[in-house]
Amino acid sequence: MKKNMGSIDKIIRVLVAIVAAVLFFTGTVTGVLGYILLGGAAIFLLTSLVSFCPLYAPFGISTCKKK
Consecutive 10-residue runs of the chain (67 residues): their mean pLDDT? 91 96 96 96 95 92 83
> What pLDDT score was predicted for residue 38?
96
> What pLDDT score was predicted for residue 1?
78
CA dihedral 55, 60, 64, 67 (to 10 degrees): 160
Give pTM, 2 decimals. 0.87
> What pLDDT score was predicted for residue 39?
97
Triad 26, 40, 47: Cα angle to 5°: 125
> What pLDDT score was predicted for residue 12?
96
> What pLDDT score was predicted for residue 6?
92
> What pLDDT score was predicted for residue 65?
83
